[in-house]
Every structure is written in C-alpha cells, then in structure tokens.
Amino acid sequence: MDSPSFEGKMPSISPLSTLSSEFPHSLSDFRLYPLSFILSMLGLFVILLVITLVAAKFAAGKHDTALKLGSRKLVPGAQTAAEAAREFLDENGASDVQIREHTAMISDYFDPARRTLFLNRTTLNGTDLGSWAATLHEAAHATQVGDSASALKWRLTSIRMTRYLPTIIGLIAILFIALKRLPPGIALRLCAVLLALIMLMNVMSLPVEFNASNRALAWLERKLRRHPDTIDAITPILRNVAFRDTGAFLRSPMYCLFGLLPIGGKSRPKK
C-alpha cells in the first residue's frame, strides 16, 4: 500500500496561540470543558501561587509573633536598643556607622551605602527584647564586609524585588488583560511563575539574615552572660526577626503606595 502523501506546507503554530487555545477565556468557554480539564490547566500554577503566599504568610507570622513576644519582656538594666547597637558596632569594628531616628513605612534597617542604621522612634528608645533583637540584627549587617558584603548586596536586591515587583507584575497583568493583549489564563500562569521566582530568590538569600542574627547573638552571649534566662528568651526572637523581609511579599501593595507614589513620601531621609 502506498503511503499517503501530503502536499503543501504544514501550518505553523505559534506557542502563544497554542497556550491561548488550551485555556477557556470566558464563562461560556468554561461550560464546554470538563472540570478535570480546567483543574489540570490551573492546578500547577495555582499550587505555585499558593505555595508562594503560604511561604510569605509563614515568614510574616514568625517575625510578627517574635516581636510581640519580645515586647513583653524587658532587658536587664535600662539600656535602650540604640545604645546597645552603638556598643555592638563600636566593639565589632563598625564605629563609623551612624544611628539615626527615622519613623516611616520603611524603617529599622541598615543602609550599607550610607553606613547608617535607621530606626523608628519606638525601636530606637525600646528597652524590650523585641526592640533589642530588631536593632541588633540590623546593626549586625554593618559587620558583613568583604565576601559577606556581596551576599548582603544580593539580599538587598531580593528584598527590593519582594517589596515592589509583585504589585507591579499584578498591575501589568491586569492592564494587558483589560487591553485584550493577553488571555486571562496565560496572565495567571505568568504571574504565578514570576511571583514564585521572586519568592525563591528571597528564600535563597535568607542565610544572610541568619548570619546577621548569629553575629548579634554571639555578642549578646558575652554581654548578658550573667543573665542566661534573657539569652534563652532573646535567642528565638533574634532568629525569627530574620524573616521580616520575606514576609514583606504580602505588604507589596503598601510598599508600592508609600514607597513609589508621591503621596507616600520617601522611604528614608535625604540627608
């Protein structure tokens, strides 16, 4: 039997059109597909999105719970968090670092470019374990120099991406859908993948935060050696404040509103 022959060229298929044709784009289209098909198309990307959001929620919960517990117990003596940070910095070769009050949406952070530790008023004057943990953790970043400085720079980049990109990506996706430039199904997939990549980069840079907490803890173990109960209490707090900027993923709309738009002002003082 002669094999069948095909004349002419095979029609070319665009990858984008293939993805678009696979996914139902309207309510009427959904009625034409069985539930199992719809779930299989959405499943992987929904799982990615859920995992990303759960990871962010977990990190934010660890940080917030730690500070809440820390606020209930005072450190021995009346030394403020800013005074403790000054002592820590001077003893660890970072006496050039300034400590400045800065109460704003984004505060309690170390700026390596300006060698400045910005603290809001409550943290700066706090004498509780939570204020000490948050302040000393950020102060410890000032001691991450040499090879550690490159890792810190990578961490800061991932933090900025976590704060702003999720909202920007979401707005761009909505705009493309509204302009009918991108089918909703593809937009959902792209958003899920991009958000998961942002969270993955953030998680991969977390060792920089754990290293800072360990540096602060090593100093506290010497300073508070006569108060072992206080060391035991502040140790888990210090470890959990490291998760703050991983949980920032959930606050991305607020960071965009207050950090990028004129109505929100600046995230740090100009001078």
103 band by pLDDT with thresholds 50, 70 and 90: confident
Residue 10's Cβ-count burial label (10 Å; 0-12, 13-18, 19+) is exposed
pLDDT for residue 94: 96
Q: pLDDT tens digits for 7-38?
A: 444 444 444 444 444 444 444 444 444 555 55
Q: How many domains does the chain have?
A: 1
User: How would you label 69-108 residue by residue, b for 16+ Cβ within 10 Å and e otherwise?
Assistant: bbeeeebeeeebbbbbbbebbeebebeebebbebebebbb
Q: With a threshold of 0.95, does the pTM exceed it? A: no
2 part of a folded domain = no
18 part of a folded domain = no
Query: Widest CA span of the chain, in angstroms?
Result: 98
pLDDT at 61 over 80: yes
Helix or strand or coil: residue 117?
Answer: strand
* 184-204 and 35-70 helices, crossing angle to 10°: 30
Taking the CA atoms of 14, 17, 18 and 19 in sequence, report the sign of the dihedral they define.
Answer: positive
How far apart CA 59 and CA 244 sit, in angstroms, is 7
270 part of a folded domain = no
DSSP state of 29: H
pLDDT for residue 173: 92
In the block, tokens 């970072």 appear at 94
| pLDDT, averaged across the chain | 84
26 part of a folded domain = no
80 part of a folded domain = yes
How far apart CA 253 and CA 53 sit, in angstroms, is 14
Q: pLDDT tens digits for 203-227?
A: 999 999 999 999 999 999 999 999 9
Residue 228, domain extent: 42-264
124 part of a folded domain = yes
Beta-carbon count within 10 A of 243 CB: 23
198 part of a folded domain = yes
pLDDT at 183 over 80: yes
For 124, 131, 220, the CA distances from 87, given in Å and listed in that order, are 14, 15, 11
35 part of a folded domain = no
